[in-house]
Amino acid sequence: MAAINADLSVNGYTFEDIQTLAKEILKHTSLRPKIALICGTGLGGIAEVVENPITVPYESIPGFPVSTVEGHSGNFVFGTLGGKQVLLMRGRLHYYEGYPMWKVAMPVRVMKAMGIETLLLTNAAGGLNPKYNTGDLMIIKDHIDLPGLTGECVLIGKNDTRFGPRFIATNATYDHDLRSKFKQVVLELGYGNILQEGVYIMIGGPTFSSAAEARVLRMFGADAVGMSTVPESVVGRHSGMRIFGVSLISDMVDMEDGSKFLVTHEDVLKTANERALLMQKVFVKFIHLID
């Protein structure tokens, strides 16, 4: 296998590095999926319903970073879901783990090099919209890239146009057709009462928001807050992929001064666990409907 050069001036991984990683991963399977799903915190259970799974641990891929967060196991899983070939990323990389932004989203470039055309993003997020409840599913209709707005956009650095153009529009990132298909599936399964559609804001983490910060995020127009997803969707968009995202509202963010409720990662995992079966059912039917 060729060496990974990781040239920092071109966002760490060169175009050739990405092709090398893709080829290395594809050696494990003859499947060539066009749909990929990134599993959010505690949402890796979706991989358990993948038929004839082929698991490729990140640590078996030379030059690939590992996931360090509980609830993210660190494997690619190839197989069939809803009658379609799929690639699952079970274990994402986060900025707060100490990875630079370009590394956080690098797997999306590898996916593109493997032939992925549609990227499905899932995450656990804190609810900011007072109408939401813990356990709700929020289709992402738009995002706020808070790190990007403050100088940490994932696309910063020299641009190699083989990945995508220097400047890209990020409005209308989340595909309308996929959003309505997902809505249809959740309604058909009888879960319309927990379905929301809203704006996701990314913070760097790993601190959960203070009450004053949470009020600011709400004032910005965000409905849910998390520490992921946006770099992946921006890189997916940059490379011309169709994007869909959904947040599981794992906790309601406290905005009251002096409140005694202190959210923990265990709370987030608990909600994800409670919704694991539903997420499996929804994604099997949803993926079945994707062209």
Ligand X SMILES: O=P(O)(O)O[C@H]1O[C@H](CO)[C@@H](O)[C@H]1O
By CB under 6 A, what part of segment 24-63 binds ligand X? Answer: 40-41
Q: What is the largest CA-CA distance in the chain?
A: 56
Q: Distances in Å between the alpha carbon of 237 and those of 233, 234, 243, 249, 265?
A: 6, 5, 7, 24, 29
**Interatomic CA distance for residues 37 and 86, integer angstroms:** 8
Beta-strand relationship, 195-202 and 242-252? unpaired
Residue 138: CB atoms within 10 Å: 24
Does residue 268 bind ligand X (CB under 6 A)? yes
**Interatomic CA distance for residues 154 and 163, integer angstroms:** 13
Per the listing, tokens 């940059």 go with: 238
Of the pair 40, 74, the CB lying nearest ligand X is at 40
Of the pair 102, 200, the CB lying nearest ligand X is at 200
Q: Which residue is nearest to ligand HPA (CB)?
A: 126
C-beta separation of 137 from 143 below 8 A: no
Does residue 265 bind ligand X (CB under 6 A)? yes
* Least spacing, CB of residue 123 vs ligand X, in Å: 3
Of the pair 18, 214, the CB lying nearest ligand HPA is at 214
Per CB under 6 A, residues contacting ligand HPA are: 124-126, 208-209, 225-227, 250-251, 253, 263, 268
Does residue 227 bind ligand X (CB under 6 A)? yes
* Least spacing, CB of residue 248 vs ligand HPA, in Å: 9
- What are 73's two structure tokens? 């196991």
Selection from ligand X, ligand HPA, none that 225 binds (CB < 5 to 8 A by kind) is: ligand HPA
Does residue 148 bind ligand X (CB under 6 A)? no
Of the pair 40, 82, the CB lying nearest ligand X is at 40
Residue 142 CA to its chain's centroid (Å)? 14
**Interatomic CA distance for residues 107 and 142, integer angstroms:** 22
Selection from ligand HPA, ligand X, none that 138 binds (CB < 5 to 8 A by kind) is: none
Contacts to ligand X by CB under 6 A: 40-41, 69, 92, 94, 123-124, 205, 226-229, 265, 268
